[in-house]
Structure 1
Amino acid sequence: MDAKIDPIAEIAGEAPVAPETDLATREAAYEKFVWDNLKRNYLGNYLHGMLGMTGFRLVNAPTFLPAYIHMISGSNLIVGLALALQQFGGVLAPLFAGSQVEHRKKVLPAAMWMGGLGRVAILCMALAGWFLKGQSLLVAMLFFIGMFGLFMGAQRVVFGLLIAKVIPISRRGRLQAWRNATGGLIAAVLAWVAGKYFIGPNLFGNGYSTTFVFAFVLTSLGLSALQILLREPEPPTTRPQARFRDRLRDAPTLIAQDRSYACFLLVQMLATSAKIATPFYILYVGHQTQLTGGLLGNLTLAFLGADTLSNLVWGNLGDRTGFRLVLLFSIGLWIAATVLLMEIHVGPAIFVSFFGLGAAQAGYMMAAQTMILEFGHRDDLPMRIAVSATAESITATAGPLIGGWMADLFGYGVVFGASIGMLTAGFLLLLTAVKEPRTARLAAL
């Protein structure tokens, strides 16, 4: 069949352009835009990641927030409930966000909204600590933790899509390595400062609220830098807009058409389920030794310091070999660090175990978030990110709640043992059933 002729082009005397040629031209223009704006976009993503992740690590590290919730509630189960609420917000939010942005040429405006609302939730946690007491404080903290998780679930999709659009695949690992390393370094220093000078002396009447305000300021500066610097290209093709429920029905097909991707999802779910133990690492240490503000700061420093140093290794390794190998190493390290924490209860060993846990979880996060960008077709990327985020959130929602119940009923050892079992299963599945998507794609060309 002949290509359709544009009547305006015909009047102007221009030759008709075949659809295939037109698409190739747009693809070339898209690639040129990406490389022409790479330095600016690289800097914007670097500053956003460095400052944003600095603040988010202060909130998400398995030290400050679990310790604060335990202090105001006195219950392991409530600690688990708080972390479960944070993850529950990420169950449907990614799928909804994916369905709302996959047809859009520009997604930066949506990223600003989702990112901004997530940061407001952190500020509200701080304000609740200063102005509320007793049960009102606990209820407010649980609500705002849930809201934080909701907006972070949506943010994960739109920011993942932005990185895939503006950063070439060969540069993503190094970008994440340097931004995570510098952000982790700042966060590690601030964690030590927060433990010693904010939380220990209860600065401004509530050291935890002071810490959360610092997190809010840093993450807001990172978001502002991204908005100012980023130049977003319009992709050559996008999916047509569809109803949310229709895209939900498409999710099983998206998973089933790629066996390696389906197994990767299972690995994600197992690894996320293993986080059943994460909020109880610091509580276990407090059960074994006296948990002072100084010790809390030192262990947070170990956890975030490992994040800083290991990211340089994980990012460069991933760019060279693909991120499947990073995922294997990080899960193996996660298992070893958990065993060390369980078996040896002296100060240096506890410090080393938290260092190992920080490095392992940094490697897992980088590998999981980067590998997902390399499966399948570009037009399906928003929903593929959303499906992965939702799969993780489903298991992460139930995990802390079940972990809190298990810790109260059976003790921390059973919780840690269950975590090790799920990590081992994920390691074996990754080793035997998941192909490196970068290698598989190149082989198919």
Structure 2
Amino acid sequence: MDGGPSLARTEETEARLAAEEAYHAEVERNLRRNYAANLAHGLLGQTGFRLVTAPTFVPAYIYLLSGSEFAVGLALASQWLGNALSSTLGATLVEHRKRVLSMGLLVGWGMRGGVLGLALSGYFLPDHWALIFACIFLCLFGLFNGVQSVIFQLLMAKVIPLRLRGRLTGFRNFAAGLTAAGVAYVGGKYFVEAHALGNGYATTFLAAFALTSIGLTMLMLVREPDSPEVRPRTSFLLRLREIPDILREDRELSRFVIASGLAALGTLAVPFYVLYAGKAIGLSGTTLGALSTAFLLSQTGANLIWGSLADRIGNRVVFLASVGIWALSTVVLMGMHSLWPLVAVFAGLGAGQAGFQNSTQNMILEFGAREDLAMRIAILNTATSSMMAVGPLLGGLIADSSSFVAVFSISTLMLSAAFVLVLFAVGEPRKRGLFH
């Protein structure tokens, strides 16, 4: 007898093992090049995007156009709504592909188009139209960002081994934080305060577009291996129906997603940090630059610590420490009424949010097998982006009807709930021995 089905299964297993070995050999062979390309892309891309996503320039710009806390919340909500709507679509676009880089580049240019539109509308449109188009372009930015974040996290998981991801993320964000802090100071003092090119905010966003565009070009240097295994191509609606099964099969994953969503809802206070500072001490271009610099520099230093800690101990510890620092800084913010104490608090906020972002992005990669990785990333991004869409809108309503203190108190409560849930109900996923 020739063994029949048993022999066929053995040959299939050997073929899969050989494909895995070849895949990992190619990853190691191109590691230096891919590490450098990811670092350059992250450095320039994050430097530019932080000028858009930091809780300073965009909220201050929208408030300048509208004079309304609710409008600030609505604008930020439109960005994160776009992100939430597109993350699962991003997973279904790439999880059946052996290579994802070309799709990532295409989506990346669309995302940068939203930043360019934000800048150009500021230059050429009157305030009421600039406000409307700012919301539209922030939503466009979010839509492409939702897809891009899934693709680029998947790409990094393919070309950067687990043992190096934390340090790469930390050092990339460290370098980006240094340059972003310098650009933020220039943006506040020399662009906004000096009304550069007729609109300092638009000039800052134009600088962000230029930096992110150069960063995306650097990613073209990546040598991406073919994935040894991919999912069969599935319709978008069918994959949506499978999401509850993925969460039911891994209770710790579902609890981690819930905790991340709670912490993300804590961002309801983020657009109002700088508005609170403005009411406390006034909001000149110099003050805006100082607070932005403190926020971004703290992200810089903290990212090195968070990345090293994640590689040595795990991302769960980083999640707990960073969410705790973020909550504590929010509490302290409510008592600050002068510049330098506010600068220190913004540094704490930056460190906490950096650790939260790094830990969630890397921890989700460790919960299961590669073939479901894109969908796990999409589930997490959808959960967090949905809360980040609801949060600023809710925060704007509360700020308009009550006070900033009420907004900050609710944010602290959400962050505390996330901390407790992970502390008591989510273990360190890399200790489970799953394949990454």
TM-score category by the smaller chain? over 0.9
Q: Deviations over 1:4-57 (max 9, x none)?
A: 999xxxxxxxxx981111111000000101000000100110000010000000
- Alignment match, 2:216: 223
What runs of 5+ residues in structure 1 fail to find an aligned partner?
Answer: 7-15
- Alignment match, 1:440: 432
Q: Deviations over 1:99-119 (max 9, x none)?
A: 111000110011001111101
Instruction: Establish whether residue 306 from structure 1 lines up as the match of residue 298 from structure 2.
Output: yes
Conserved? CA contact 1:178–1:311, under 8 Å: yes
Residues in 2 aligned to 1:92 and 1:86: alpha-carbon distance in whole angstroms: 10
Deviation at 1:2?
Answer: 2.2
Aligned-partner residue type, residue 4 of structure 2: D
Residues in 1 aligned to 2:254 and 2:70: alpha-carbon distance in whole angstroms: 32
Q: Deviations over 1:218-264 (max 9, x none)?
A: 1011100011x101111111100011100000001111111111110
- Alignment match, 1:187: 180
- Correspondent of 1:84 among 50, 69, 77: 77
Conserved? CA contact 2:280–2:338, under 8 Å: no
- Alignment match, 2:395: 403
Q: Deviations over 1:256-298 (max 9, x none)?
A: 1111111100111001000000000000011111111100000
Deviation at 1:407?
Answer: 0.1
Residues in 2 aligned to 1:377 and 1:24: alpha-carbon distance in whole angstroms: 15
Residues in 1 aligned to 2:304 and 2:222: alpha-carbon distance in whole angstroms: 24
Residues in 1 aligned to 2:432 and 2:84: alpha-carbon distance in whole angstroms: 29
- Correspondent of 1:33 among 18, 26, 46: 26
- Alignment match, 2:405: 413
- Alignment match, 1:234: 226
- Alignment match, 1:201: 194
Give the paired residue count: 434
Aligned-partner residue type, residue 421 of structure 2: L
- Alignment match, 1:67: 60
Moved over 3 A (4+): 3-6
Residues in 2 aligned to 1:142 and 1:27: alpha-carbon distance in whole angstroms: 45
3-state SS of paired residue (1:240)? coil
3-state SS of paired residue (1:105)? coil
- Correspondent of 1:160 among 149, 153, 166: 153
Q: TM-score when scaled to structure 2? A: 0.97
- Percent same amino acid at aligned positions? 47
RMSD, aligned CA: 1.5
Residues in 2 aligned to 1:92 and 1:186: alpha-carbon distance in whole angstroms: 31
Residues in 1 aligned to 2:428 and 2:153: alpha-carbon distance in whole angstroms: 19
- Alignment match, 1:387: 379
- Alignment match, 2:327: 335
Residues in 1 aligned to 2:86 and 2:133: alpha-carbon distance in whole angstroms: 21
- Alignment match, 1:280: 272
Residues in 2 aligned to 1:74 and 1:198: alpha-carbon distance in whole angstroms: 21
3-state SS of paired residue (1:241)? coil
Deviation at 1:311?
Answer: 0.5
3-state SS of paired residue (1:19)? helix
Residues in 1 aligned to 2:135 and 2:168: alpha-carbon distance in whole angstroms: 34
Conserved? CA contact 2:332–2:345, under 8 Å: yes
Conserved? CA contact 1:340–1:349, under 8 Å: no
- Alignment match, 2:4: 2
Residues in 1 aligned to 2:27 and 2:407: alpha-carbon distance in whole angstroms: 46
Aligned-partner residue type, residue 225 of structure 2: P
- Correspondent of 1:265 among 251, 257, 277: 257
- Alignment match, 2:136: 143
3-state SS of paired residue (2:229)? coil
Task: Describe the shift of the 1:17–1:268 C-alpha distance in structure 2 as closer, same or farther (beyond 3 A).
Answer: closer
- Alignment match, 2:242: 250
Aligned-partner residue type, residue 334 of structure 1: W
- Alignment match, 2:353: 361
- Alignment match, 1:103: 96
Instruction: Establish whether residue 57 from structure 1 lines up as the match of residue 59 from structure 2.
Output: no
Aligned-partner residue type, residue 178 of structure 2: L
Q: TM-score when scaled to structure 1? A: 0.96
Aligned-partner residue type, residue 388 of structure 2: A
Residues in 1 aligned to 2:288 and 2:115: alpha-carbon distance in whole angstroms: 20
Residues in 1 aligned to 2:367 and 2:7: alpha-carbon distance in whole angstroms: 35
Aligned-partner residue type, residue 203 of structure 1: A
Residues in 1 aligned to 2:231 and 2:386: alpha-carbon distance in whole angstroms: 26
Instruction: Establish whether residue 347 from structure 1 lines up as the match of residue 349 from structure 2.
Output: no
Residues in 2 aligned to 1:91 and 1:195: alpha-carbon distance in whole angstroms: 30
Residues in 1 aligned to 2:343 and 2:93: alpha-carbon distance in whole angstroms: 44
Residues in 2 aligned to 1:289 and 1:170: alpha-carbon distance in whole angstroms: 45
Deviation at 1:120?
Answer: 1.1
Instruction: Establish whether residue 378 from structure 1 lines up as the match of residue 378 from structure 2.
Output: no
3-state SS of paired residue (2:349)? helix
Conserved? CA contact 1:280–1:412, under 8 Å: yes
Residues in 2 aligned to 1:91 and 1:327: alpha-carbon distance in whole angstroms: 21
After TM superposition, the structure 1 = structure 2 runs for residues 416-435 of structure 1, keeping only pairs within 5 Å, are: 416-435=408-427
- Alignment match, 2:308: 316
Instruction: Establish whether residue 134 from structure 1 lines up as the match of residue 127 from structure 2.
Output: yes
What runs of 5+ residues in structure 2 fail to find an aligned partner?
Answer: none
3-state SS of paired residue (1:235)? coil
Aligned-partner residue type, residue 206 of structure 1: N
Task: Describe the shift of the 1:126–1:256 C-alpha distance in structure 2 as closer, same or farther (beyond 3 A).
Answer: same
Aligned-partner residue type, residue 119 of structure 1: R
Aligned-partner residue type, residue 170 of structure 1: R
Residues in 1 aligned to 2:298 and 2:346: alpha-carbon distance in whole angstroms: 8
Residues in 2 aligned to 1:284 and 1:98: alpha-carbon distance in whole angstroms: 38
Deviation at 1:346?
Answer: 2.4
Aligned-partner residue type, residue 394 of structure 2: I
3-state SS of paired residue (1:232)? coil
Deviation at 1:128?
Answer: 0.5
Aligned-partner residue type, residue 66 of structure 1: P
Residues in 2 aligned to 1:379 and 1:282: alpha-carbon distance in whole angstroms: 42
3-state SS of paired residue (1:18)? helix
Conserved? CA contact 1:271–1:423, under 8 Å: yes
3-state SS of paired residue (2:4)? coil
Aligned-partner residue type, residue 19 of structure 1: E
